[in-house]
Structure 1
Amino acid sequence: MPEVDIVVIGSGLSGLAFARFYLDTHPEAKLVIIEEDRCLGGVWSQRRSYDNFWCQSGRRMSGFSDVPLTVPEDAPLYHDTFEAKYVTNYLEEYAHNHIYNGKTIFSRIYFHCKAVKINKSYDKWEVIAELPNYLKEKHPSQPPISYTCRKLVVATGRTSYPRMPSIDWGSSMRFVRHHKAFGELSQQPLPWASGVLFFAVLGSGKSAADMVYELAKKGQNVKWIIRASGEGPALLFPAPGHGRYKNSVESSATRLKALFSPSPFIPNTWWFSMIRTLLYGTRIGINYMIQRIRNVDQYCRNIAGYGSRPGSLEGFKLLDFSSSAFWCTGPLGLLQHDDFWETISQNVQVYRNDVVSYKDNIITLDNGKQLIADEVLLGTGWDPQQQCFSDEQARYLGLPHFKPMDNIEVRSLWEQLYEEADRRVIAKFPLLENPPPHINRASPGTTVQRLYKGIAPLGDDSIAFLGAIDISNSFRAAETQAIWTTAYFDGNIKLPPLEQMVKEVAYMGAFSKRRYPTHGQTGECFFFELVWYTDALLHEVGLRSHRKGWWADWVEPCLASDLKGMKDEYKQKFGL
């Protein structure tokens, strides 16, 4: 294939957001997107959609800034959240309707192209793609395709590669599906009418909860198995908002509310320093925050009524969580159906055991109990590793890699940097020094991610990783990362000296580990940092049109429409 300017790997939110903003400001650019699936959208794709999959952001916080996301007037809403299929429709129309130099974004996407190997020679990247595994058997003679470019954007995100549990499956793998394939099962009428009655769902997070709920609502026999050795059941937030906020997600996405969560991206001014010291550095402030954390957890527990809900099956109380919403020591999600707890409590058998094996339609638990299951569905999460890069490339680019791959000098340098950064985190946020009991999911032999702003490698300015951090609203994160990366590739960001960038990377990693002791050990978790992180990206580019004035800036949530002036502001600022 002829050389292009930019290759984007992935057509989910991050890939589409980058393609749109970059082409908005460089309409003549030769930009292509390669996508492993047969349809765009990533987690929002048509193939992965199912009946009870809902968007956890309300309408005002969903979609991109230049085209409002709307749903039909008769569409069901739950505190302004809505069915995910409308995101799917929105993204497909979005890609078809954005046209640059006579080509739509959609026409730039090459489907069924799985990036399997990436090489760099001098100043050019070569991306080698082949058919995904499920098509190889049908087309065994199809040769790989090579794409060459000067700039590479990896936008595969964090929900591309299923995490498969280590279980003795025997010859029963054909009856096992990951949540990634649940949409296809849900959309096909045959399984529901073919006598398949016994389902087992493994996992404790929101994806597992969605599958359990949908199966129960369709009258299936459902067993929900949450391993005893894991993080425990999900903590599900009630959706109702209060006052000006249409839902609880909106109320948490304000600058005022964001002050009550420590963040490495809070502006370093005297006023913010005073607030930070008051909340996290004084005994009164720390006691207040501890009580606030307990109140939130108990509120969620009271809504569910784990031990008091009438008509509950015996195992329902096993869904009571031991994690903390503040610390994210377990799965989190939004409760999006009024009858969710009633449906689960009266129709679903819950087990808190590890699964030893699944053979001949029999699940064997670690206590010896055996359960019948015609299908096993896995809500076991995702492997965020960038699988198209070699171990050596991961080391070079600053992706998590085996520590022994670094030489002794580099290893010692980063250990010192993280120790210093950890002391700074504790000095600024003493509350974080003593986290609650938790599971450390990271391998002790793996490094922390070393990407500047969670996007850019320190030693190569021709590649960016978008959607690589865990954050609460993917729409806003995708769009602001797209703007920052465009400016970065254009040379329109005045980056700090390398020594300072290295220290900032270490500080981000140390903060992630302290703030999110279970999910942040590889330096990629900034779940509650949406407001300050996206502000920091736009501030570094020098853009301000998203700000709303003094009062509204503090109390209004981060809405998709906030960013609608970014294209014109960017073009005017940089003379495009």
Structure 2
Amino acid sequence: MCMDEDPELEMWNIVPGHKVGQYLRNFSKKFHIDEHLRLNTKVLSAVSEDGLGGGSRWSLEVQEKGKEKETIGCDKLIVASGPSSDPRMPNLDTSSFQGPVFHSLYLGARHAELTADNIKHVTVVGGNKSAAEVVNLCASAGKKVTWLIREGGAGPGMFIQAKSGSVHNAAIAFSRWAGLTVPCLLRTHGFWYWLLHSGLFWPGLWLVGKYWEWVSHYMLKELYDQSENARKIAPDMQHLFWSTSAPSFLQESSKLFEKLNAGILIDVQRTHISKVHASSVTLDNGTHLATDALIFATGWNLTFSKFFTPQTRIELDLPIPFGTEPPVMKAYWKELDTEADKWVHKTFPFLSNPPKTYENPPDNTPYHLYRQSIPTALATSNDRSLIFLGILASPQIPTYAELSALWGIAYLENMHSPEVDKVFSDKLTMDKQTARTNSFMKWRYRRAGIIEPNVGAEVQDLCDLLCAELGVEGKRKKMLGGWKASWNEWFEPYRSLDYRGIVGEFLEVYRKREEGKNEGFVEDWGTFILV
């Protein structure tokens, strides 16, 4: 079901929020999801009834808003709550403030409060995309805005123009050829790896470096040089490859930089709030600032599925606070991580000497899930009762979400080929691959890859891998045949539309494999719960 089918939408144009909501409602209705939903319901705990590794049922304690707690059970548990759903607020006492004060998460529900006549001045704290959206909204409504971005830290986010000439930059980024310009964990053989990333042909590494210097200059040219305000929101590392800030597109209709450069409604300051008063704030630089509203666009806390007990999180290899790891577990992963770092540096010399950037030391160990989904301890015990989805940050969220979900269901229901299935019984092999994946993300994406799993332009290779392990064709455009299809395979952007029909293809592959063994596809799907 593709949004392309909506006649009111044009490719690469802005998609209004109400259209996204309408699409999700239609999707839910078409696939009968809504009849299984329980909204406003929080999972308080999730416990394996007979202990992990036994393939037993899960018992979940849940509570719907305004109702009593209850317990429900399931045969299969899919955790898709993501790594970051808890808004982060700075450690400030805002109880005395008399105006609107909230996290940018609630902008959609509360934006009318900021554009009301009684609001003359808004203070926005934060440096990334959500902060820019709040600033632009308020300035467009004629409000005075003070935009506060603290010194140090990760610095401001990176804004780039949505189009290069007549081509949308997302169309370039989502093309298969774009993946050749970056090191890729899943591409360590072949001509392009040897030429550009192996270090065996030294001009290749030089060419990659120069390419990204040129792209960065072209994308960012003159954007941050027009005013003092613009210079204050410039990313500390103005390099698209090495920047630890995810880029955000500026649509053609955006007037944000026009307002920034004018300096009439927007004032940017690189400082932070030290104290909040009834109708003002005191800044770290000593300034006393009167304000009518206070908005924190300060990101998210990583939540790590906290409805599991600390012991269960250890057994599942989920993130846990540093210092709480059992000694044996700590030594095990230290050895694997050290070997993985050596492998990454040898395989991708370009990553071995990155420029110095701000590194936010993590408080927790990383995820140690195979393919960012499977707890290896359960897999090797043939316990197919639990997977995690939505952990990986990706520019191709819809496509990756569909493929990883299908791959995960195949794992839960033992529908993979024997060749793929064999890996699930080998914990060391899976853990070595996981350590290499985490190491690659650490050296490729620096702070972003350390804090949470991350993938960028090489996402198409990951989609290809999932398709291969499902037994379906990954090069979707080439399937049509002919020279034009081959051209499109490399130079047209990949979209969710290209994977239409993939569920049926996978079921047909499975049917042929199982033909003669069982008449049906799956005898008993059991009870699934998705949280």
- With the shorter chain as reference, the TM-score category is 0.7 to 0.9
1:477 equivalenced with 2:400 (yes/no): yes
For 1:84-233, list aligned pairs within 5 A. 84-98=17-31, 104-122=32-50, 123-131=56-64, 139=66, 142-172=67-97, 175-186=100-111, 188=112, 191-233=114-156
Does the Cα contact within 8 Å between 2:42 and 2:63 map onto a contact in 1?
yes
Q: Does the 8 Å contact 2:4/2:11 carry over to 1?
A: no
Deviation readout 1:242-266 (Å, 9 max, x if unpaired):
67xx511111112211011112122
Contact 1:113-1:130 at 8 Å conserved across structures: yes
CA distance in 2 between counterparts of 1:373 and 1:262 reads: 47
Residue of structure 2 aligned with 1:467, choices 390, 394, 397: 390
- In the aligned structure 2, how far is the partner of 1:158 from the partner of 1:262? 25
Instruction: Give the Å deviation of 1:90.
Output: 0.5
Please say if residues 402 and 447 of structure 1, whose CA atoms lie closer than 8 Å, have aligned partners that are also in contact: yes
AA of the residue aligned to 2:71: S
What amino acid sits opposite 1:406 in the alignment? E
Contact 1:204 1:331 in 2 (8 A): no
Structure 2 counterpart of 1:319, from 233, 240, 251:
233
Counterpart residue type for residue 262 of structure 1 = P
Distance of 1:170 and 1:404 partners within structure 2: 34
- 1:393-440 C-alpha deviation (Å, 9 max, x unpaired): 222222211243332222111101011011111111111111222122
Counterpart for residue 261 of structure 2: 345
Which residue is 1:50 aligned to? none
SS of the residue 1:520 aligns to: helix
- Where in structure 2 are the equivalents of 1:21-32 lying within 5 Å? none
Structure 1 contact 223–350 (Cα < 8 Å) conserved? yes
Which residue type is aligned with residue 569 of structure 1?
Answer: E
Counterpart position of 1:53: none
Instruction: Give the alignment's Cα RMSD to 1 decimal.
Output: 2.2
CA distance in 1, matches of 2:106, 2:191: 49
Q: Determine the C-alpha separation between the residues in 1 that align with 2:241 and 2:346.
A: 19
The offset of 1:299, in angstroms, is: 2.6
1:469, distance to aligned residue in structure 2 (A):
1.2
> Which piece of structure 1 moves more, 197-206 or 158-167?
158-167
Q: Which residue number corresponds to residue 270 of structure 1?
A: 190
C-alpha displacement at 1:85, in angstroms?
A: 2.6
CA contact (8 A) 1:238 1:303 kept: no
Residues in 2 aligned to 1:199 and 1:166: alpha-carbon distance in whole angstroms: 20
Contact conserved, 1:71 with 1:86, CA < 8 A, in 2?
A: no
Paired residues in the alignment total: 484
Cα deviation code 1:255-309 (max 9, x no counterpart)? 211011112122x54345424545x5543222222222222332333241x333x
Secondary structure of the corresponding residue to residue 184 of structure 2 = coil
Deviations along 1:480-519, one digit per CA (max 9) or x if unpaired, are 1111111111212224222211110000111111011111
Structure 1 or 2, whichever has the larger Rg, is 2
- Aligned in 2, Cα 1:149/1:507: closer, same or farther, shift over 3 Å? same
Match of 1:378 among 290, 296, 299: 296
| 1:294/1:363 CA distance change after superposition, 3 Å | farther
Mapped partners of 2:47, 2:458: distance in 1: 34
Residue in 1 that maps onto 2:381: none
In the other structure, the counterpart of 2:244 is: 329
**Which residue in 2 is equivalent to 1:562?**
498
Q: Residues 390 and 365 from structure 1, CA distance in 2 versus in 1: closer, same or farther, beyond 3 angstroms?
A: farther
**C-alpha spacing 1:275/1:548, structure 2 compared with 1 (3 Å):** farther
Query: Structure 1 residue 108: deviation in Å?
Result: 0.9
Q: Which amino acid aligns with 1:206?
A: K
Partner of 1:83: 16
Is 1:512 matched with 2:441?
A: yes
Which letter does structure 2 place at the counterpart of 1:330? Answer: S
The worse-fitting range, judged by mean Cα deviation, of 392-401 and 426-435 is 392-401
Residue in 2 aligned with 1:535?
464
Is the 2:194–2:201 contact (alpha carbons within 8 Å) kept by the matching residues of 1? Answer: no
Match of 1:423 in 2: 342
Q: Distance in 1 between matches of 2:125 and 2:508?
A: 52
Would the aligned equivalents of 1:545 and 1:566 in 2 still touch at CA under 8 Å?
Answer: no
- The one of 254, 258, 276 aligned to 2:179: 258
Look up the equivalent residue of 1:544 and give its one-letter code. E
Say whether 1:440 aligns with 2:359.
yes
**Secondary structure at 1:487 match in 2:** helix
Give the superposition deviation at 1:384: 2.7
Q: Per the alignment, in what secondary structure is the counterpart of residue 262 of structure 1? A: coil
SS at match of 1:521: helix
Aligned partner of 2:277 among 348, 355, 359: 359
TM-score (norm 1): 0.79
Please list every run of 5 or more consecutive structure 1 residues that lacks an aligned counterpart in the other structure: 1-65, 99-103, 133-138
Question: Judging changes above 3 Å, is the alpha-carbon distance between structure 1 residues 212 and 116 closer, same or farther for their aligned structure 2 residues?
Answer: same
CA apart distance, 1:333: 0.8
Deviations 1:51-86 (A, max 9, x none): xxxxxxxxxxxxxxx34444453x6x6953322331
Shift, 1:159, TM fit? 4.6
**TM-score, L = length of structure 2:** 0.86
Report the CA distance between 1:545 and its aligned residue: 6.0
Q: Secondary structure at the match of 1:437?
A: coil
CA contact (8 A) 1:199 1:377 kept: yes
Change (3 A) 1:425 1:191: closer
Give deviations 1:331-385, integer Å, cap 9, x for gaps. 4211123423102322311011122122212222111112122211121111232
**Aligned partners of 2:72 and 2:43: how far apart in 1?**
10
Distance change >3 Å, CA 566–CA 156, structure 1 → 2: same
CA separation of 1:535 and 1:545: change in aligned 2, threshold 3 A: closer
Matched, 1:406 2:325: yes
Note if contact 1:276-1:428 (Cα within 8 Å) is conserved in structure 2: no
Cα pair distance change 1:389/1:344, threshold 3 Å: farther
The question of whether the paired residues in 1 share the 8 Å contact of 2:98 and 2:278 is answered with: no
* 8 Å Cα contact 1:205-1:332 kept in structure 2: no
Q: Percent identity?
A: 25
